[in-house]
Structure 1
Amino acid sequence: MTDPREEAARYRARQQARRHGHEIDDEEGAAPGIAAAVDRAAFIETAIQVAIRRGDFDDLPGAGKPLEGLGDHHDPDWWIRRKIETENLTGLGPPALLLRTEDRGLDAELDLLGREADVRSVLEDFNRRVRDARRQLQGGPPVVTEPRDVEVEVEAWARRRAERAAAAGANASETPRRRRFGLRRR
């Protein structure tokens, strides 16, 4: 036993196929060649219309709202920008933008390091990449990120490290010490 909505869709598909001049071989709607494609397309269209009338598409998220990202300008790379934003991908893009975002978080990255030699190495690598990006002629936005002065940054890193150590020492002296073992019985 078939669904009455499916039967209605097949009937409408047969009617549309006949209107377009295609003969249908049997009552089920199977047609040779192009008529089968017309039958399928009409069946799908009818099924969509029936679902709309039933209200299956009424409570979809975004219903009645404009599609975001449609503006006055044409951006051929809209899909890749949206993918980068939705997937929160990092490390993709022109060097100027990558260096700008890395520069914003460089102090926090340096604070995670424990040795001055490591801090110097990270800063020298950053400065080398800034210089290389300024020399490249591949296009894209201009590189506005400045190289960092290694000595000044090492001093700032040492100062932040000493402040954290002092704050940790102050917090440790304020918290009462717990006994390691249980109470002694007399």
Structure 2
Amino acid sequence: MSYSHRFESLIEARIREARENGEFDDLPGAGKPIPGKGEPYDENWWIKQMMRREDLGDVALPASLRLARDLDRLPEQVRQLRSEQRVRETVADLNARVAAYRDRPTEPYVKVRPLDADEVVRAWRRRP
């Protein structure tokens, strides 16, 4: 039996003992689905996770992260609007910020793209 095999066996034994003693029973997230599993990959996942975890307000966020957050929150924001005109104005304002950022990006750099106003309006019309 090789040294590495004995070492792995020792680790597996410790894990088994801890499991049998219930040391893993009350871990945060136990029995819950893995966050984000099954969702499309998002390059800015770490930024969004940090913003949620740290409960960062507008004051603490650099402009690039505020823009990423606002893009992420757009579907929720437009769901509250009462007219198609307001939806289109909101998208136009956000697209202007995207264009300004893409012209002069600031750190931390985030990938953003303009939104399709017609697509946002279609989603807004389908809202419950």
Task: Please classify the TM superposition score into its range, dividing by the shorter chain length.
Answer: 0.5 to 0.7
TM-score, length-scaled by structure 1? 0.37
- Judged with a 3 Å threshold, the aligned counterparts in structure 2 of structure 1 residues 123 and 91 are, in CA distance, closer, same or farther, namely farther
Give me the whole-angstrom Cα distance separating, in 1, the residues matched to 2:59 and 2:116.
24
Aligned match of 1:116: 84
Aligned match of 2:108: 141
Runs of 4+ deviating beyond 6 Å: none
Could you say which structure has the larger radius of gyration? 1
Q: In structure 2, what residue type is equivalent to 1:109?
A: Q
Question: Please, which runs of 5 or more residues in structure 1 have no aligned partner?
Answer: 1-84, 165-186
Aligned residues: 75
Give me the whole-angstrom Cα distance separating, in 2, the residues matched to 1:131 and 1:120.
16
TM-score, length-scaled by structure 2? 0.53
Give me the whole-angstrom Cα distance separating, in 1, the residues matched to 2:110 and 2:64.
5
Q: In structure 1, what residue type is equivalent to 2:107?
A: G
| Percent of pairs with identical residues | 31
Map residues 67-146 of structure 1 onto 2, 5 A cutoff. 85=54, 88-136=56-104, 139-146=106-113
Question: Please, which runs of 5 or more residues in structure 2 have no aligned partner?
Answer: 1-53
Alignment deviations for residues 106-162 of structure 1 (CA, whole Å, 9 cap, x no partner): 10000000000000000000000011011115x4122312111001111111111xx
Q: CA RMSD in A?
A: 1.8
Give me the whole-angstrom Cα distance separating, in 2, the residues matched to 1:89 and 1:141.
16
